[in-house]
Chains A and B, each alone.
Chain A
Amino acid sequence: MTKSLDRTELGLIIALPILICIAFVLPKWIVNYVQVSMGTGLVALGVMIQMRAGLVSFGQGLYFCVGGYAAGMMAKFLGVSDLFVLLAIGILAAFVLSTILGFLLRRYREIFYAMLSLAVSMILFGLLSSTEELGSTDGFNLPTATYLGWAPEGETARLTLYTITCIVVIGCAIALNRFLKGPIGYINEAIRENELRVEYLGTSAHKAVHITYILAAVVSAIGGVLWALALGHVDPEMTNWTTSGQFVFVSILSGIGNIAAPLLGTFILEIVRVYAVEFSPNTWQMILGTVMLLIIIFLPKGLWSLLTRKKKTKQEKLAASAPAAGE
């Protein structure tokens, strides 16, 4: 564990109040996209930390959905609407499920990891889609969140949920940054480079993958709960492979170099989509596809490299000489 905050964490902490202030300055519709992007961004973050170990999960929607549904079912059947309880339930559900599934998935790599995670998420999709009690594919609605007995309404409710979402998301990002800079984070890097060598060095790659998998599941579930509460609605589409696929694409396009990249990338791509739809409602997919190709061609390290590019030349020597932390 690092004792003091590194620059990324400092940046995130500085960003927090700014992010919260946005809600009061910018128009509501943008704030709304920021809010839902934070929810889905957390899932992209979950995908990204697995990518650090060279693992691509094409089924991360599973935990996004588990979080959302766990919270939703608590609210629907037990009438609980306390945000903190719902978050805890979402985390617990994801933790239990991922611990069990982790024993199976940790043995897989590359495309097989991707396809097995996809298969598992699609089984949940199938089950939810044929459960009429849970609204089948239409899903069901969630109540407005309450906070330890306090039940705000209207504008206050919106701002409260937004503020808490910001805090939780930034908190998760900082925690994950620590994780990536901790021992397992480094083992993951090594697994991506060469797993055999990791084993020869006497470390268990399986264990590291398992822990990463659980962590990714938990943040995804948190994202799911926050997203579901912001929307007030959950449906099985959350665990469909197309949703999971988008998380993967967002992580790649954002770049996996920095913990903040998937969060920012999610928002930017969302805005690109919104404007593509506005510009050409009938062929927006084509625009989105083209933008994706252009990003891959011109920014091979993801959107994040836009922010770092300028300083590259200056810093190159320095970076090369000192192995970076939390890479």
Chain B
Amino acid sequence: MRKSPRTGAKMDAIFKNTTSLFAAAAIGIMGTLALPTDANAEDKKVKVGFVTFLSGGAAGPFGVPARNAAELMIQSINAGSIPAPYNTAGVGGAMIDPIFVDENSKQKNADYLKLVEKDGVDMVVGYISSGSCKAIAPEAEKAQKLTILFDCGTPQIFEEIVTDPKYTFRTGGHATMDNVAAARYLAQTGASAQNVAGINQNYAWGQDSWRDFSASIAQINKGSAVATEQFPKIYAGQYGAEISALLTSKPDVVHSSFWGGDMEAFIIQGSARGVFERSKVVLTTGETAMHRLGAQMPDGTILGARGPHGDLAPESALNTWFRKAYFDRFGTLPTYPSYKMAQALLGVKTAADKAGSTDQDAVIGALKGLEWEGPSGKVSMALANGHQAIQDTAYGTYKYDKDAGKATLVDVVRFKAECVNPPAGVNSIDWINGGFQGASCE
């Protein structure tokens, strides 16, 4: 039996006289906190709150690359050192003054309101997890603050959560296109996909990805069957049993939406045991790992980047500049979260420059339905009444260039946005199951 010291006996008696202190103390503490912080920013400044993962498992693959890109872009925008047409300093003439917040928090909404109310930001750019976006989108409408979701993937944001958005924008495409395009890529490159297997993390992202992919394959390849569907826990790291199941069920194609450390662990463990030789493996976020793994990534793996980002980005002066500037500063090439952050900030710059000010209503007005060039090509705010971006996407097949010691992508296929996204107003899974009605592919 534990013999803990009696803690409260004395305290309570003492406390009887001091209970009323409780209220006083509480108010006192809050009073100090509420002291006005420098609210009067300079005229030529626009305060932007950035919310990404700075701790936890999503920090390394997503949060930090996005933050890095934000730092690079802020500096370059303020200095006006980005290639044309972005070679003017600032956004709408104002310098960006950033404040970074960790998305890894249990009180995301309260943190958001703190940014808006206390820090007095002019806009918020952020949110990687779909769960965060679902919670924040209504909050942004309530707080009436311009909020740009730059990465999260769930199609629900404007389909169900905020059907009539005024203040919420999303400058990245949603996750449906990743998996529709993956299925189309297999068909176009003539890969056999009669027997497909999936290994996806057991949470919303993995479940949605597999649902969209398996439905798309079923539409494109009538008569295909599912060999096995594996759903390990996110951050599990150990996939021995799952790999055995993939090996024994002998699929033609293995689909995985793993990201970050989980994906790299799967590549290491799976390639060691021949999964990549026996089946064609599709990694929808695989581009982030190709330069890091180099020769270790098996040739023939199909890689995506959740849009035409990274190595899948088309040639342009802006892209070349972005890759070089990012590499010079951080020592690694930018991956898709970095691209998506850069894309969001360039959207803001284009809108503010067009409006000629950083006034919220003016920026919102300009951003609605806007088209601009990001480092990965054209972005247009075409859906959800001009609040949701669509973008082309691309997939490629991995090939390690032994002579040059360089990771490359071959057989790159580009898909037009209209080919892999449902038309406005159509729910994505219904669109897939209905045989991609209205898709225009060239």
- Is there a contact between chains A and B in the complex with CB atoms less than 8 Å apart? yes
Please report A residues at the B interface, Cβ cutoff 8 Å: 6-8, 10-12, 14-15, 18-19, 22, 26-30, 32-34, 36, 54, 110, 129-130, 132, 135-141, 192-196, 231-233, 235, 237, 243, 246, 255-258, 260, 264, 267-268, 270-271, 273-274, 277-278, 281-282, 284-285, 301, 304-305, 307-308, 311-312, 315-316, 318-320, 322-327
B118 and A27 contacting across the interface, CB-CB below 8 Å: yes
Contact of A139 among B22, B106, B131 (CB under 8 A): B131
Contact partners of A319 in chain B: CB under 8 A: 9-11, 13-14
Which among B106, B161, B207 has the highest number of chain A CB atoms within 10 Å? Answer: B106
Contact partners of B4 in chain A: CB under 8 A: 54, 192
Contact partners of A315 in chain B: CB under 8 A: 10, 13-14, 17
A7 and B17 contacting across the interface, CB-CB below 8 Å: yes
Contact partners of B100 in chain A: CB under 8 A: 281
A136 and B203 contacting across the interface, CB-CB below 8 Å: yes
A312 and B14 contacting across the interface, CB-CB below 8 Å: yes
Contact partners of A140 in chain B: CB under 8 A: 134
**Distance (Å) between the CB of A294 and the closest chain B CB?**
17
Is B113 part of the binding interface, using a Cβ–Cβ cutoff of 8 Å?
A: yes
A30 and B34 contacting across the interface, CB-CB below 8 Å: yes
Contact of A15 among B10, B17, B26, B118 (CB under 8 A): B26
Contact partners of B231 in chain A: CB under 8 A: 130
Within 8 A of A (CB), among B6-39: 6-23, 25-27, 29-31, 33-34
A311 and B22 contacting across the interface, CB-CB below 8 Å: no
**Distance (Å) between the CB of A254 and the closest chain B CB?**
12
B29 and A308 contacting across the interface, CB-CB below 8 Å: no
**Distance (Å) between the CB of A308 and the closest chain B CB?**
5
**Distance (Å) between the CB of B286 and the closest chain A CB?**
22
Q: What are 12 A-B pairs with beta-carbon distances under 8 A?
A: A29-B116, A30-B30, A54-B2, A110-B2, A129-B203, A137-B203, A138-B129, A193-B6, A196-B1, A232-B139, A258-B11, A315-B17
Contact of B15 among A29, A192, A308 (CB under 8 A): A308
B11 and A304 contacting across the interface, CB-CB below 8 Å: yes
The residue on A at minimum CB distance from B143 is: A28
Contact of A32 among B2, B6, B113, B130 (CB under 8 A): B113
Which among B31, B33, B116, B202 has the highest number of chain A CB atoms within 10 Å? Answer: B33
The residue on B at minimum CB distance from A110 is: B2
Contact partners of B22 in chain A: CB under 8 A: 11-12, 15, 260, 264, 307
Contact partners of A258 in chain B: CB under 8 A: 8, 11-12, 15
Contact partners of A237 in chain B: CB under 8 A: 106, 131
B117 and A235 contacting across the interface, CB-CB below 8 Å: no
**Distance (Å) between the CB of A54 and the closest chain B CB?**
7
Indicate whether A32 sits within 8 Å of B110 (C-beta atoms), given known contacts A11-B20, A27-B117, A285-B55: yes
Contact partners of A270 in chain B: CB under 8 A: 107, 110
A11 and B23 contacting across the interface, CB-CB below 8 Å: yes
**Distance (Å) between the CB of B297 and the closest chain A CB?**
28
Contact partners of A6 in chain B: CB under 8 A: 16
**Distance (Å) between the CB of A34 and the closest chain B CB?**
8
B134 and A141 contacting across the interface, CB-CB below 8 Å: yes
Contact partners of B1 in chain A: CB under 8 A: 194-196
Contact partners of A322 in chain B: CB under 8 A: 13
Contact partners of A26 in chain B: CB under 8 A: 30-31, 34
Contact partners of B203 in chain A: CB under 8 A: 129, 136-137
Contact partners of A260 in chain B: CB under 8 A: 19, 22
A281 and B110 contacting across the interface, CB-CB below 8 Å: no
Is B204 part of the binding interface, using a Cβ–Cβ cutoff of 8 Å?
A: yes
Indicate whether A324 sits within 8 Å of B12 (C-beta atoms), given known contacts A29-B114, A130-B207, A141-B135: yes
**Distance (Å) between the CB of A18 and the closest chain B CB?**
5
Contact of A326 among B12, B99, B109 (CB under 8 A): B12
Contact partners of B25 in chain A: CB under 8 A: 264, 307
Interchain CA distance A26-B114 in the complex, whole Å = 13
Contact partners of A256 in chain B: CB under 8 A: 7-8
Is B97 part of the binding interface, using a Cβ–Cβ cutoff of 8 Å?
A: no
Top 4 closest pairs, chain A to chain B, by CB: A11-B19, A29-B117, A137-B203, A319-B13
Binary A-proximity of B123-165 (CB < 8 A = 1, otherwise 0): 0000001110011001100000000000000101000010000
A324 and B110 contacting across the interface, CB-CB below 8 Å: no
Interchain CA distance A264-B29 in the complex, whole Å = 11
Interchain CA distance A277-B31 in the complex, whole Å = 20
Indicate whether A136 sits within 8 Å of B34 (C-beta atoms), given known contacts A281-B100, A282-B54: no
Contact partners of A135 in chain B: CB under 8 A: 134, 204
Indicate whether A324 sits within 8 Å of B29 (C-beta atoms), given known contacts A54-B4, A246-B106: no
Interchain CA distance A196-B183 in the complex, whole Å = 66
Interchain CA distance A257-B65 in the complex, whole Å = 46
9 further A-B contacts with Cβ under 8 Å, apart from A10-B19, A233-B138, A257-B12, are A15-B26, A29-B110, A32-B109, A129-B202, A135-B134, A135-B204, A137-B205, A271-B33, A316-B10
Contact partners of B23 in chain A: CB under 8 A: 11, 14-15, 18-19
**Distance (Å) between the CB of A75 and the closest chain B CB?**
14
Interchain CA distance A278-B102 in the complex, whole Å = 9
**Distance (Å) between the CB of A107 and the closest chain B CB?**
16
Interchain CA distance A257-B23 in the complex, whole Å = 17
A277 and B101 contacting across the interface, CB-CB below 8 Å: yes
**Distance (Å) between the CB of A26 and the closest chain B CB?**
5
Is B244 part of the binding interface, using a Cβ–Cβ cutoff of 8 Å?
A: no
A301 and B11 contacting across the interface, CB-CB below 8 Å: yes
Contact of B202 among A7, A10, A130, A312 (CB under 8 A): A130
Is B373 part of the binding interface, using a Cβ–Cβ cutoff of 8 Å?
A: no
A274 and B114 contacting across the interface, CB-CB below 8 Å: yes
**Distance (Å) between the CB of B211 and the closest chain A CB?**
8
Contact partners of B202 in chain A: CB under 8 A: 129-130
The residue on A at minimum CB distance from B20 is: A11
**Distance (Å) between the CB of B434 and the closest chain A CB?**
19
Within 8 A of A (CB), among B50-74: 54-55
Interchain CA distance A106-B55 in the complex, whole Å = 37
Contact partners of A195 in chain B: CB under 8 A: 1
Which among A19, A135, A196, A243 has the highest number of chain B CB atoms within 10 Å? Answer: A135
Contact partners of A136 in chain B: CB under 8 A: 203-204, 207-208
Which among B8, B11, B22, B203 has the highest number of chain A CB atoms within 10 Å? Answer: B11
Interchain CA distance A33-B109 in the complex, whole Å = 9
**Distance (Å) between the CB of A226 and the closest chain B CB?**
14
Which among A22, A237, A318 has the highest number of chain B CB atoms within 10 Å? Answer: A22
B15 and A7 contacting across the interface, CB-CB below 8 Å: yes
**Distance (Å) between the CB of B63 and the closest chain A CB?**
10
